[in-house]
Structure 1
């Protein structure tokens, strides 16, 4: 395939140089419009779907009647950067890397896909019904786009995700699950000098939860907990009536997580003092994505890579992605097929320029392989 890295970087730059953090509607709209135009220019059908305050998303397909979907591809346009970041740190080139907010996660992944589709034989594309979902809210667990994601996943046979590939060259065949909670404690206010040891302090109750959560993380296998936010109380001589905490759990076993979730709900119903009121609210959830049902799909990707002389290495990702959501439908899924990069969500976020073409070639070869491969029906069944 004919490839000019300068032209590639020129096409990527306008996407990177737009602030489009989650909920930045103006930026999300601008980037979404650019992506929409690019896919329409290669003859693909694009329709928008609303994601509330997260802005617009895109469903892109190559066939009018794309049911069932042979291949579902997931990408996103939002970043985790605040407004003004793109102005202060526009895309730049230094040595072998291209830097910029969202360049790896995952604007380069979208451009890689465009390049792969542009140079894929039309006869191969005609053999596949492909749907591409572009979300505007991946960095808040696809809170508003998950309805469309689930709808497409139920119709799909297989899925690949354009999240960032690792610098070590690994692709992702599993990811840890994530659950985010908010807990509100309501006790009874009183003067600290008058209640003694009978106080009903929201802060004291919250503190017990922190200790118990840390203990749970030690007791349960492969579960991590992080209490990232606490707030409450007004004065040192006043018993705190209200307190709030927020924490996240990371886990590899959905079975163990369900048991742990039940434990948390039991805690919320049995405070240390009768007058205490506790409200537990799960704000976000992504089940663990494991590689148990992915073996044959991974082998197909290995065959495509082998046809290019590329080695294939696998790992399980620590962070969750939209792969977790589609895998919950029993869908065979491969993640990490975006650009190869590092230092995500930091001022050092970058992609490896020399790895751009090999990754585009892999996407192209993988699509060609799937177009000529028979899809095992059992892979589309719900686990």
Structure 2
């Protein structure tokens, strides 16, 4: 393990602005990894996912394989706007590495590369391995989930290399997510002269939020969050328009169906005088729930952890990842195989320096065991 080389490579991708909408930056990250894989003798393909996002990157050691022993998944995009990398480039301090996307998830992508670099020629020949790096995970993998799903269906298992949790835990389950936009249309009027002629879209929005929050189920872990509301043009005008963005989270997909149907029925049938409500689903990620085959995969990981002297713990977490999509297809999927990190989506984001080498070792040995 050459830590200085690892950090140099990590720095070269952390210090690129590559928010999901920064298409050129994501493409630059893809090109960096393509070069490193090609230098290691791996086959790479750039995948066109449309003009609105950067390219995907597919990597394999058997370009003609119909089926794979494992699909390794990671994303190249971050949540940060252009200029962030220049404002706070990667730094190393007191045993931690800081920078935009350093643990979510540039280091996870790099751990995949380093684990595969360390395979012996015999292991590379025996195993059929696929790597999928996508450009839009932070916005729900809207353009890439079908591509990743098709690869997952050709794979025995899926390992997603998002960061391990702050306590070192791997991820066995993730909440599902759905995002909705609710548009309200009312009737404008002068708030002083003719308020009775108006129909306030803002008032309708407020009433709707109160009613729809009743769909939450704390015991089942189903939550609704109206995270954005906007409306109106001026204080002296009865607002004729307003909108809200709703974030829905759930542990099981039956809860999603319940809330989705209730939302749809409410918006189509809940009549307020001269007020219309239009519901638009902007994103949907199914819940990641472990199956019996996933539990067998967890046992394999635990066996490898014992062999390598790495304590294995599992968490169920609220945030989603590409593992949600692959698990929903019935493919055993686990997550959290990157280095230990925390502070995601904030200036405090970090990874633990001394976790890099052990997590690469863990990932490599799990891959090797999969083909036996």
Q: Scaled by the length of structure 1, what TM-score is found?
A: 0.93
**Using the alignment, how far apart are the partners of 2:61 and 2:96 within structure 1?**
33
Q: CA deviation at 1:43?
A: 1.1
- Pick closer, same or farther for the CA change 1:210–1:220 going to 2, 3 Å: farther
Once the two structures are TM-superposed, the CA of residue 204 in structure 1 deviates from its matched residue by: 1.4
* Aligned counterparts of 1:47 and 1:329: Cα–Cα separation in 2: 24
Instruction: Give, in whole Å, the separation in 1 of the partners of 2:8 and 2:220.
Output: 47
Residues 271-296 of structure 1: CA deviation (Å, up to 9, x unaligned):
34242221101100101101233111
User: 1:5-24, aligned counterparts within 5 Å?
Assistant: 5-24=3-22
Q: Which moved more, 1:5-14 or 1:253-262?
A: 5-14
Look up the match of 2:130.
Answer: 131
- Bigger mean CA deviation after superposition, 272-281 or 159-168: 272-281
Structure 2 residue aligned with 1:378: none
Alpha-carbon displacement from aligned partner over 1:48-106 (angstroms, at most 9, x marks no partner): 11122111111111102221222111111111111111111111110110111111111
- The alignment partner of 1:285 has SS state of strand
Q: Distance in 2 between matches of 1:167 and 1:233?
A: 43
**C-alpha distance in 2 between matches for 1:10 and 1:327:** 34
Task: Look up the match of 1:241.
Answer: 240
- Note if contact 1:106-1:339 (Cα within 8 Å) is conserved in structure 2: no
Q: Secondary structure at the match of 2:324?
A: helix
Q: Which stretch shifts more, 91-100 or 121-130?
A: 121-130
Alignment match, 1:305: 305
Aligned match of 2:364 = 364
Q: How does 1:10-159 map to 2 (within 5 A)?
A: 10-52=8-50, 53-159=52-158
> Which residue is 2:320 aligned to?
320
**Unmatched runs of 5 consecutive residues or more in structure 1:** 373-383
CA RMSD of aligned residues (A): 1.5
Calculate the TM-score normalised by the size of structure 2. 0.95
**TM-fit CA distance, 1:120:** 1.3
Match of 1:54, SS?
Answer: coil
| Cα displacement string for residues 151-188 of structure 1 (whole angstroms, at most 9, x for unaligned residues) | 21222221000111012111000000100000111122
Report the secondary structure of 2:254's partner residue: helix
- Give the match's secondary structure for 1:157: coil
Name structure 2 gaps, 5 residues minimum.
none
* Rounded Cα–Cα distance in structure 2 between residues aligned with 1:45 and 1:111: 17
In the alignment, is the contact (CA less than 8 A) between 1:67 and 1:129 conserved in 2?
Answer: no
SS of the residue corresponding to residue 283 of structure 1 reads strand
Q: How does 1:154-303 map to 2 (within 5 A)?
A: 154-192=153-191, 193-196=193-196, 199-218=198-217, 221-293=220-292, 294-303=294-303
Match of 2:334 in 1: 334
Task: Please state whether the residue corresponding to 2:283 is helix, strand or coil.
Answer: strand
In the TM superposition, residue 199 of structure 1 has moved relative to its aligned partner by 4.6
Displacement of 1:229 in angstroms is 1.1
CA distance in 2, matches of 1:317, 1:126: 36
Q: Distance in 2 between matches of 1:63 and 1:219?
A: 47
226 and 174 in structure 1: CA distance in 2 versus 1, 3 angstrom threshold: same
> Secondary structure of 2:238's match?
coil
CA distance in 1, matches of 2:195, 2:343: 51
> Could you report, residue by residue, the CA deviation over 1:320-359 in whole angstroms, capped at 9, with x for unpaired residues?
0010011110110010011211111111111101111100
State whether residues 160 and 334 of structure 2, in contact with CA within 8 Å, keep that contact through their aligned partners in structure 1.
Answer: yes
